[in-house]
Amino acid sequence: MIKERYAVIGNPVEHSKSPWIHARFAEQTGEPVDYGRILGTIGGFENDVRAFIEAGGRGMNVTVPFKLDAHAFADSLTPRAAAAGAVNTLAFTAEGARGDNTDGVGIVRDIEQNLGVSLQGARILLLGAGGAARGVVLPMFEKKPAALTIVNRTAAKAHQLADRFADAASAASVRFSGGGAEIVEAGPYDVIVNATAGSLDAALPDCDDHAFGPGTLAYDMMYSPKPTVFMQHAASLGARASDGLGMLVEQAAESFFVWRGVRPDGGAVLRELRQALTAKA
- Which of 3, 67, 143, 280 is labelled catalytic? 67
In-domain check, residue 269: no
Number of structural domains, the chain?
A: 2
Q: Where residue 213 sits, what CATH number does that domain have? A: 3.40.50.720
| Residues 123 and 28 both lie in one domain | no
Question: pLDDT band at 281, cuts 50/70/90?
Answer: low
pLDDT of residue 225: 82
- Residue that finishes a domain, picked among 79, 101, 123: 101
One domain, residues 122 and 175: yes
* Mean pLDDT of the residues in the chain: 95
Do residue 149 and residue 81 come from a single domain?
no
Domain identity same for 232 and 145: yes
Q: Judge whether 211 and 192 are in contact, CB under 8 Å.
A: yes
User: How far is the CA of 214 from the CAs of 174, 275, 277, in angstroms?
Assistant: 24, 26, 27
Structural domain of 54:
4-101
Q: Which residues are annotated as a binding site?
A: 16-18, 63, 88, 103, 128-132, 152-157, 221, 223, 244, 251
pLDDT tens track for 44-103: 999 999 999 999 999 999 998 999 999 999 999 999 999 889 999 999 999 999 999 999
Judged by DSSP in three states, 236 sits in helix
Q: Is residue 65 part of a domain?
A: yes
Q: What is the pTM assigned to this prediction? A: 0.94
Asked if 3 is an active-site residue, the reply is no
Q: Is residue 123 part of a domain?
A: yes
Q: Is the pLDDT of residue 242 over 70?
A: yes
Question: How many of the other CB atoms lie within 10 Å of CB of 222?
Answer: 21
We report the CATH number of the domain holding residue 60 as: 3.40.50.10860
Which residues are annotated binding-site positions for shikimate?
16-18, 63, 88, 103, 223, 251
Same domain, 232 and 134: yes
From 272, 268, 244, select the one nearest 29 (Cα to Cα). 268
